[in-house]
Structure 1
Amino acid sequence: MGGAERSARKRRQQQQQQGKNVVAQARGTAGMSGKRVGLIVGVVVVVIAVVVGGVLWTNASKNETVGETIPVAQPAESKYPEKREGVVVETGDPDAPVTIDVYADFLCPACGSFYERFGEQIQKKVNDGSLLVRTHPVPMLVEASDPPGYSLDAANASLLAADEGKFTEFHDSLFQNQPAEGGRGYSDDQLIRLGSDLDIDTQAFIEGIRNGKYEDELKSEFNKTASNPDLMQEGPRGKGFSTPTVTHQGEIVQLTDNWLDQLTSGNS
């Protein structure tokens, strides 16, 4: 075999090998493409499932108060009458040595935690005559329910309950069964039903909830409260009013573990 013939044969072998390589590469690419497509489809399906599941869970959570009866809190035992003055409710002995003002919103999660943590302690101090509590229902989170307005509706209803001498039970029932911020609050019918379960069945209470008897007064007072420099504290977004806020003799109380004992023992 001459040199020219050997060179030609070598070229043919190289061309054949290149052809095999191209075919193998194409097959590999096709296989990988199929795997990638399958993987992408799988990921998309999982994402859709997560999104749909999240939407369903969110809707269910948001509307969990629909049709629910608000459980009644255990009645607070106190020998002292309740007294409403404007949009403030006083509970305890008028001659108690210590008076605190509590500013709270019925939709505020931090306020719910405050009452869960300190509510029983506060009530004990009220019962033994060492503490007078002035509660300010604050409609700060009016836009934070869906539909908006529960914060104001609850504050209004609590004042109406105070007119019937049932403020503490009504107040505690709402906080112990607090709706989620951003979700649906309780409707007028549900608030009226809670009143009924607390033996409030007057027409004044029912109509007061329906027509928002104290709403204008609550909104006006809140505007004054939120702009009061003495009630402002430093927060994540700068200085401003927030809930819960507790004051004693015009000074904001720092809510440490033993703040209440310090006040009532004269160590404040």
Structure 2
Amino acid sequence: MSNKIKNPNEKSNNFLWAILALLVVIVAVVTYIVINGKQASNNEYADRAKESVRFSVTAEGSTIKLAAENAAADAKQVDLYEDYSCPHCAELAKATDADMKTAIEDGKIVVTIHPLNFLDRGAEDGNSTKAGTAAELIAQTGNAESYWNYRAMLLADQSDIYGQWDNAKFGDVAAQYGVDSDTVNKIKDGSEMAAFRDEATANADNLTKVGGQVSSPRVFINGTEVTSGLETWVQQATA
């Protein structure tokens, strides 16, 4: 009996099945990586360290007031004008937010934040308006801890957010900061953006009256603008 000689160029079925199995494994691994990467991206802020606060947040007209329950009768009244697209605002927050928080909690100052959107340069859906609307809606809930940490995130991650986030992303991240679902949905659908634009315009008009022009960041202590040593404004207010 003679053995059949096999053509060396002929692929066996076993070889084809091995290739197919390998492809299935590769697809499964890639799918796993993509899905887990997306989940990690969607929850990137959930585990970020968040500060507790000992003050209240109150949305008043076009402004947001931060004040401790034990604020002194003679506590300095601070007006802070900021735009979430402003790099200098981000720098100021990095330099002074920790001291500002302590001074508010100690009752030495009451801070009224005036959000601006002049850096949108007329765009109705610019970054300043989207971020400002989200922060305003969170402030309206009275959840001071969520507002404080969300605002800090908007300024700290400004370079990553600018031009990249849509309303849905601002809303998704708000949820990771403990914001209720109704507010998250309002952020996502953009229904309050027109209202925020009106508020930002009112703040800009007021800044023009008290400061001559619109720019940011600007800080006023008991109505007098801090014109030098802006990074030390908290120390100036509590001296």
Cα distance in 2 for partners of 1:220, 1:255 equals: 30
Please give the TM-score of this superposition, normalised by the length of structure 2: 0.69
- Off by >4 Å, runs of 4+ in structure 1: 67-70
Give the superposition deviation at 1:133.
1.0
- The within-5 A match list for 1:1-268 is 71=45, 74-93=49-68, 95-96=71-72, 97-143=75-121, 149-164=126-141, 165=143, 166-179=146-159, 184-213=163-192, 215-227=193-205, 228-232=208-212, 240-256=213-229, 257-265=231-239
Cα distance in 2 for partners of 1:87, 1:173 equals: 21
Structure with more relative contact order (C-alpha pairs < 8 Å, separation 6 or more): 2
Deviations along 1:44-88, whole A, 9 cap, x unmatched? xxxxxxxxxxxxxxxxxxxxxxx7766466433322221111221
SS of residue in 2 equivalent to 1:77: coil
Structure having the higher Rg = 1
Give the superposition deviation at 1:245.
0.7
Cα distance in 1 for partners of 2:139, 2:219 equals: 20
Give the superposition deviation at 1:125.
0.8
| Contact preservation (8 Å) 2:167, 2:190 | no
| Contact preservation (8 Å) 2:81, 2:218 | yes
Give the superposition deviation at 1:117.
1.0
Root-mean-square deviation over aligned CA pairs? 2.6
**Mean Cα deviation higher: 105-114 or 193-202:** 193-202
Cα distance in 2 for partners of 1:69, 1:99 equals: 37
Amino acid at match of 2:151: H
Please give the TM-score of this superposition, normalised by the length of structure 1: 0.62
For structure 2, which runs of at least 5 residues remain unmatched after alignment? 1-40
Give the superposition deviation at 1:219.
2.5
Give the superposition deviation at 1:160.
0.9
State percent identity of aligned pairs.
18
| Contact preservation (8 Å) 1:107, 1:151 | yes
